[in-house]
Structure 1
Amino acid sequence: MANIRPYKISISESQIQDLKTRLSLSKFPDELDNAGWDMGAPLADIKRLTRHWESSYSWKTAEAELNSLPHFITDIQCDGFQPLAIHFVHIRSKVQNAIPLLWIHGWPGHFWEGVKIMKPLTEGDGVEHPAFDLVVPSLPNFAFSEGTKERGFALAQYAETLNKLMLKLGYNEYVTQGGDWGTHISRALAHLYPQTCKATHLSMDAANPPSFLANPVLTLQHMLTPYSKREREGQSRTEWFTKEGRGYNLEQSTKPQTLGYALVDSPVACLSWIYEKLHDWTDNYPWTDDEVCTWVSIYWFSVAGPAASTRIYYETHHTTRTPENPRAVPRDMLRAYSPGVKLGYSHFPMDLVVLPSTWVRTLGNVVFERDHEDGGHFAAWERPGELVKDLRDMFGKKGGAFGCVKGANGYSQ
């Protein structure tokens, strides 16, 4: 296809040596006696990971593993902005007319977060399990995609970029899966491009409570139906995040440039900023030191630099829809009903915000919903088997989204 080129991750030895030099010169803060995770990433953990990143960890080994995936790059231009080179992984299923699935990461995630679900989804047999063509992009400003130099690149532009990517790959209809910003971008796609984005499966809750004026039936259900175990326990998880876990969000939504100096100059700052979330946002996931170092290295070696990824918060927080900007997607629009696009939910109890089902049903035609006993914010990484099963059930023969993409169920032509 025109202007779609194979891509190989290739970090130079000088970049690697620069990282090691910076790590060797790291200075660490002191720590209060008996300080715990409630005060932030512990000193002993960061010192251990810093030593490992500098002395034991091999980026070239990780790079070779990453390059075993089929990487590509292509130029995408949003209206009013300069074109950007967008990196993506593209795996076509061997099943004819498989369902095109756009998997969208968030922050502090990236394309590698989806690696565990790639093979099982694309290797669906087309009989018992639906098969998917998988497209896993690096969002603009993340990993190996270019970053914008212009202000105003917000949710509408992220959605426009991904929609144009899918069209360029020949997918005139597709479905999405995402958590974190993947949830918000999926919602933007549902509002802006319902003719191409036919269904979204989400693994993060973000919705307003039902109101009598807009959702009378859901409001009555919410009032009369007792909360499930997930919904009851989710209240405390949501309260914790609101009171103790949102500091990063406030900083990145208001002063990302100031934070950026630390993220770009100090690998320890970048490590600690991200590692805190990997720990706090997962459900006791047993991170290995190599996993953490690869995860953070993708940010450190990113094309636009690790600071660029934080700007999505600022741009979204400061977006308003005006006559001059009629296609903007403000945050309240993400929580409005999106007609015509089928919606599925996987609820994980240790995500950041855990909401009652009646809340998320205000967003659209919910055709699939499943509660899970465990799991946190990074569903594709923490609980890949559960997520794969949910997608198969939602889009399979007995699922509520079966047949939503024309001629692309793999086994129902």
Structure 2
Amino acid sequence: MGWVRVLVVGVAIGWAAVMVNRKFEEPPLPTLDPNPWWGPGEPKEDNVAITQFKINVPEKDLKDLKDRLALPLRLTPALEGTNFTYGFNSDTLSRIVTYWTKKYDWRKREALLNKYPQYKTQIEGLDIHFLRATAGDTSGGARKKGVKVVPLLLVHGWPGSVVEFYSILPLLTTPREGSSVVFEVICPSIPGYGFSQGSSKPGLGSLQTAQIFLKLMKRLGFDQFYAQGGDWGSLIVTDLATLYPHNVLGVHMNMLGGNTPTGNLKMWLGSLLPSGLLVPESDQHHLYPLSSFYSRLMLESGYAHIQATKPDTIGAVLDQNPVALATYILEKFSTWTNRDNPNKPDGGLLSKTFPFTMDSLLDNICVYWFTGSITTSVRFYAENMNKDFYNKPMNKYGYILSRQITHSSSLSFSSFNSQ
């Protein structure tokens, strides 16, 4: 079969030569409606007021959650020795529900989540929620020491929320020894996530969200700012920087992806050529063997397919039962935190070394549950993973939702609240 490899490499090298000699043309930027209306009914004038918001779940909603959690579980015993390889292990789920029912205290967690000031403002017909973490000691000592306060937009993804930023906010807003910069942090909820209103009309994807967040930052008085995002947030801040380069001073992402012809060629050639020639030896295990890479892609991308094609179906199912919602979301935290977690009886979730406490994980689930936002959140997949999205010139050979399927540690949840 050696001649087959030689032939494949020869064809690939020829293709590479053609691609290298092609003139690169910067794709045109899409044209967005500058003033769309995503709210219900006909367009109206936005209420541009910024109003304070406090999380305060009605007692009847809390009782409803407790009543649903008290229902007997209908669990099928796991197959012997399968751990999380068939999905969520029923024994682990039972232990988590018991903790949720008997030990988790929403009112205490609610007080913690209200630690930072939160607000809402209407943009393009939607009530957009955000929290604002101000830079510590900016009125006195920090400025005297020459510390510069800069605005930072911090954007979450799915199945996350602004909850995931609570543990990192003190590090960003507190002047630190040896640093001349401290941040004023704005953490908005993506439309349809948590406390941000979901669109009443189809078509609100990452590009449209980028425009909404630009308007938010300008309304807060920040014409120029830095931006950071993970998961969907990575795509949103990429679009922000692409569409509005004069407003975005810098971008940081903790999820990256590319889908260029030359990039794919390099990946395929790297599987045939000696180790380290095209892909650094330190990165070989992320990609090769390709059979493992594509197998994991198939294994871990089913959720994205159903959310991109039938979001309302899966949303309706998850919105009926908090245990179902927790199962669906926590399984992602297990697998995406460490690729070896499916081989553990508890999926790593109950381990003392797991980077997120059960309380912080349940905080995030409760935000989805109390706001009834699981359906509107997964619709974001349908708006971004479709023919119209990939046919846009700026997306055709650019960003691809690769997620964490090739990595051994979590990217999108790396800063999740671990309190």
Contact 2:261–2:397 at 8 Å: present in 1 too? no
Aligned-residue offset at 1:311: 0.5
Aligned-residue offset at 1:317: 1.4
Secondary structure in 2 aligned to 1:301? helix
Which residue among 284, 291, 307 is the counterpart of 1:252?
307
1:379 aligns with 2:410: no
Q: Which residue of 2 aligns with 1:335?
A: 399
Counterpart CA distance in 1 for 2:59 and 2:187 is: 27
Contact 1:178–1:186 at 8 Å: present in 2 too? yes
Aligned-residue offset at 1:228: 3.6
- What does residue range 71-86 of structure 1 map to in structure 2 within 5 Å? 71-77=118-124, 83-86=125-128
Q: 1:314 to 1:2 in 2, by over 3 A?
A: closer
Counterpart CA distance in 2 for 1:280 and 1:289 is: 16
Aligned-residue offset at 1:245: 0.7
1:28 aligns with 2:74: yes
Counterpart CA distance in 1 for 2:368 and 2:381 is: 16
Q: 1:351 to 1:195 in 2, by over 3 A?
A: same
Aligned-residue offset at 1:376: 4.3
1:306-350 deviations in Å (ceiling 9; x for gaps): 21110000011125279xxx9x787436439xxxxxxxxxxxxx9
Q: Which residue of 2 aligns with 1:88?
A: 130
Q: 1:183 to 1:353 in 2, by over 3 A?
A: farther
Aligned-residue offset at 1:12: 0.6
Counterpart CA distance in 2 for 1:352 and 1:174 is: 31
1:273 aligns with 2:328: yes
Which amino acid is the alignment partner of residue 234 of structure 1? H
Aligned-residue offset at 1:26: 4.6
Aligned-residue offset at 1:110: 0.5
1:320 aligns with 2:388: yes
Q: Which residue of 2 aligns with 1:288?
A: 357
Which residue among 285, 291, 307 is the counterpart of 1:233?
285
Q: Which residue of 1 aligns with 2:116?
A: 69
The answer to which of 225-234 and 28-37 deviates more is 225-234
Q: Which residue of 2 aligns with 1:297?
A: 366
Aligned-residue offset at 1:289: 2.7
Q: Which residue of 2 aligns with 1:345?
A: none
Counterpart CA distance in 1 for 2:164 and 2:73 is: 30
Which residue among 149, 158, 161 is the counterpart of 2:212?
161
Contact 2:260–2:397 at 8 Å: present in 1 too? no
Which residue among 147, 150, 154 is the counterpart of 2:198?
147
Secondary structure in 1 aligned to 2:250? strand
Which residue among 148, 168, 189 is the counterpart of 2:240?
189
Could you say what the CA RMSD is over the residues aligned between the two structures, in angstroms? Answer: 3.3
Aligned-residue offset at 1:52: 2.1
Counterpart CA distance in 2 for 1:240 and 1:60 is: 43
1:264-297 deviations in Å (ceiling 9; x for gaps): 1011110000000111111363443322221211
Q: 1:230 to 1:7 in 2, by over 3 A?
A: farther
Aligned-residue offset at 1:194: 1.4
Counterpart CA distance in 1 for 2:281 and 2:325 is: 36
Q: Which residue of 1 aligns with 2:228?
A: 177
The answer to which of 309-318 and 236-245 deviates more is 236-245
Q: Which residue of 1 aligns with 2:106?
A: 59
Counterpart CA distance in 1 for 2:397 and 2:200 is: 26
Structure 2, unaligned stretches of length 5 or more? 1-46, 339-347, 349-353
Which amino acid is the alignment partner of residue 377 of structure 2? S
Aligned-residue offset at 1:232: 1.5
Q: Which residue of 1 aligns with 2:18?
A: none
Which amino acid is the alignment partner of residue 300 of structure 1? W
Q: 1:319 to 1:164 in 2, by over 3 A?
A: farther
Q: Which residue of 2 aligns with 1:100?
A: 151
Contact 2:337–2:409 at 8 Å: present in 1 too? no
Which amino acid is the alignment partner of residue 245 of structure 1? E
Counterpart CA distance in 2 for 1:144 and 1:333 is: 34
Counterpart CA distance in 1 for 2:411 and 2:282 is: 12
The answer to which of 182-191 and 95-104 deviates more is 95-104
Counterpart CA distance in 1 for 2:418 and 2:319 is: 31
Counterpart CA distance in 2 for 1:170 and 1:5 is: 15
Which amino acid is the alignment partner of residue 270 of structure 1? L
Counterpart CA distance in 2 for 1:247 and 1:263 is: 16
Contact 1:375–1:382 at 8 Å: present in 2 too? no
The answer to which of 107-116 and 127-136 deviates more is 127-136
Aligned-residue offset at 1:375: 5.1
Q: 1:26 to 1:315 in 2, by over 3 A?
A: farther
Which amino acid is the alignment partner of residue 144 of structure 1? F
Q: TM-score, normalised by structure 1?
A: 0.74
Q: Which residue of 2 aligns with 1:48?
A: 95
Secondary structure in 2 aligned to 1:194? coil
Q: 1:64 to 1:192 in 2, by over 3 A?
A: same
Structure 1, unaligned stretches of length 5 or more? 78-82, 337-349, 355-372, 385-413
Contact 2:404–2:410 at 8 Å: present in 1 too? yes
Aligned-residue offset at 1:191: 1.9
Q: 1:26 to 1:91 in 2, by over 3 A?
A: same
Seq. identity, %: 29
Counterpart CA distance in 1 for 2:180 and 2:83 is: 45
Which amino acid is the alignment partner of residue 303 of structure 2? Y
Q: Which residue of 1 aligns with 2:405?
A: 352
Counterpart CA distance in 2 for 1:333 and 1:15 is: 46
Contact 2:227–2:250 at 8 Å: present in 1 too? yes
Contact 2:307–2:379 at 8 Å: present in 1 too? yes
